[in-house]
């Protein structure tokens, strides 16, 4: 019964976001937790959110087969600390975020604007992503740093065989 209720809740959330927040959410998108979108997202196929909040006015591109745990925050707009006042002026700086295909993001991750996350990247729970990440990297920490790489041959074999969740 609990599994059925969870599935119904997920379908309702996905439907709600598709009609009210962003028409580019497709039928292969699954939303399992509360999400706050800014309406400037571009979604690939087979997207899975377990909770996500996007702050700011920048665009966020999600590649195919994107998966995230709870607590994902993406910040695309910032105050200008280099302006005419301290600690910052009225100028708002906006930067887009690009997330490649087959990216898996752990719980409570923060991604800042201007970042590109390469294909096949895995981001460890609790990480703060402040710079771009090369494809097939496994990263973690605050700030997030590459500490390992996926097996490239194995990854591309699975991709070629269309073995996705």
- Structure tokens given for 157: 């074999």
Concatenate the DSSP letters of all residues of the chain into one string: -HHHHHHHHHHHHHHHHHHHT-TT--TT-EE-S-EE--S-EEE-SS-EESSEEEESS--EEE-TT-EE-TTEEEE-EEEETTSSSSS-EEEEEE--EEE-TT-EE-TT-EEETT-EE-TT-EE-TT-EE-S-B-TTEEEEETTEEEEEE--HHHHHHHHHTT---
Catalytic residue among 36, 79, 85, 157: 79
Mark whether 67 is an active-site residue.
no
**Cβ neighbours for 132, distance < 8 A, ≥ 6 positions apart:** 115, 116, 117, 118
Q: Name the residues annotated as catalytic.
A: 79
């Amino acid at each position: 019964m609990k599994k059925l209720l969870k599935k119904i809740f997920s379908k309702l959330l996905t439907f709600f976001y598709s009609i009210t927040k962003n028409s580019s959410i497709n039928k292969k998108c699954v939303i399992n937790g509360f999400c706050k979108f800014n309406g400037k997202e571009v979604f690939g196929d087979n997207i899975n959110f377990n909770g996500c909040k996007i702050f700011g006015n920048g665009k966020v591109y999600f590649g195919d087969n994107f998966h995230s745990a709870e607590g994902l925050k993406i910040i695309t707009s910032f105050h200008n600390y280099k302006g005419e006042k301290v600690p910052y002026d009225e100028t708002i700086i906006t930067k887009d975020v690009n997330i490649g295909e087959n990216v898996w993001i752990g719980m409570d991750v923060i991604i800042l604007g201007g970042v590109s996350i390469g294909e096949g990247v895995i981001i460890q729970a609790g990480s703060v992503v402040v710079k771009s990440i090369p494809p097939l990297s496994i990263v973690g920490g605050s700030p997030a740093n590459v500490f390992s790489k996926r097996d490239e041959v194995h990854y591309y074999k699975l991709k070629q065989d269309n073995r996705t969740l």
